[in-house]
Amino acid sequence: MCGFLVYKKSGNNFYIQKRGTDFTNQVKINGFTFVHNLLSVTGKFTPQPFINGDIVCVYNGEIYNHKFTNSDGENIIPLYKKYGTEFPKYLDGEWAIALYDFDKKLAIFATDLFATKPLWVNGLECASYQSGVGGEKMPANTILVLDLESKIKERKNIYNWDLRQHKKSYEDWIWAFENAVKKRAVENCFIGLSCGYDSGAIACALLKLKIPFKAYIVKGK
């Protein structure tokens, strides 16, 4: 969980900063202020924004289908340079992305299939919470492309998936659950074990998949 904020004149980072307490970075580029609050849980300690020439990107989430050296977010700009505004279609994960291409005069906002990471957009400004810049919440599974005059150039779905469940047995569900755990887990990851079924099921899946992990339990009365 991280949080970001992009604004031109003023923005409110008070609540967003609580999403990323490890480091807050602020950069001013071409009249925009990019603020990123880092919660460092994936890869090496990597402050944002990501910058490559005239392209600037802030991102919150996790990407599962691309290898990385320091941070999974380092894949975003290379994918954009390869696929253009279609790049979110090549991501498997949970994310909110704001990418600004000052050379092509574009701003691109994208959310994952279920909008698990919040993204609020107000013209060319954006934030992880509405308190940051106001505006409207980005719907799930959406790419929004604007020019730098705030004119909408394109709005489209990322995936055209049938989200209905097609599992026919308990074994089908177990297979899907274990694969969901497998693509998210890394060796020696941490889980907090509660008395509920959710964390227990994750622990069982990790044991079955032989992925080493650490757990912490607070014993009650």
Residue 163 forms part of a structural domain: no
Give the CATH number of the domain where residue 131 resides.
Answer: 3.60.20.10
pLDDT greater than 80 at residue 221: no
Assess if residue 162 is contained within a domain: no
E-strand spans in 74-183? 93-101, 106-111, 120-122, 125-127, 136-137, 142-147, 152-157
Going by the DSSP 8-state scheme, the letter that residue 196 receives in this structure is S
Q: Is residue 52 domain-shared with residue 134, that is, in the same domain? A: yes
Whether residues 181 and 151 share a domain: the answer is no
What is the rounded average pLDDT for all residues in the chain? 92
Residue 25: predicted pLDDT: 96
Does 142 share its domain with 182? no
Please determine, for residue 87, whether its predicted confidence score (pLDDT) is greater than 90. yes
Do residue 146 and residue 41 come from a single domain?
yes
What percentage of the chain has pLDDT greater than the value 70? 100
- Say how many C-beta atoms besides its own lie within 10 A of residue 26's C-beta: 12
Judgement on whether residues 174 and 135 belong to the same structural domain of the protein: no
Residue 193, domain extent:
170-216
129-185: pLDDT as tens digits:
999 999 999 999 999 999 998 888 999 899 887 767 778 899 999 999 999 999 988
Residue where a domain stops, chosen among 157, 182, 208: 157
Which among 157, 181, 204 is the end of a domain? Answer: 157
Q: Are residues 151 and 175 in the same domain?
A: no
Task: Count how many Cα atoms sit within 13 Å of the Cα of residue 44 in the half-sphere of its side chain.
Answer: 5
Identify whether residues 135 and 211 lie together within a single domain. Answer: no
Q: Identify the band that residue 67 occupies on the pLDDT scale cut at 50, 70 and 90.
A: confident
Instruction: Let me know if 195 is exposed, middle or buried by CB neighbors in 10 A (0-12, 13-18, 19+).
Output: exposed
Residues 130 and 22 in one domain: yes
In a domain, 165, yes or no: no
Work out the pLDDT band at 210, boundaries 50, 70, 90: very high
Can you tell me the mean pLDDT for 62-87?
A: 93
* Of residues 10, 8, 9, 20, the one with CA closest to residue 128: 20
Residue 211 lies in a domain: yes
Instruction: Note the pTM of the prediction, 2 decimals.
Output: 0.87
User: Mean pLDDT over residues 66-90, rounded?
Assistant: 94
Burial of 71 (0-12, 13-18, 19+ CB in 10 A): buried
Total tally of structural domains belonging to the chain: 2
Task: Answer yes or no: is pLDDT of 43 > 80.
Answer: no
- On whether residue 35 sits in a domain, the answer given is yes
Do 75 and 47 touch, CB atoms closer than 8 A? no
pLDDT (average), residues 118-129: 96
Is 221 part of any domain? Answer: no
Q: Are 143 and 176 contained in the same domain?
A: no
Same domain, 90 and 149: yes
56 in any annotated domain: yes
User: Is 194's pLDDT higher than 90?
Assistant: no
pLDDT at residue 202 greater than cutoff 90: yes
Same domain, 185 and 141: no
Higher-confidence position of 80 and 191: 80
> 51-60, 68-77, 99-108: which has the minimum mean pLDDT?
68-77
pLDDT of the residue at 161: 73
Hey, is 17 helix, strand or coil?
A: helix
Percent of the chain with pLDDT over 90: 75
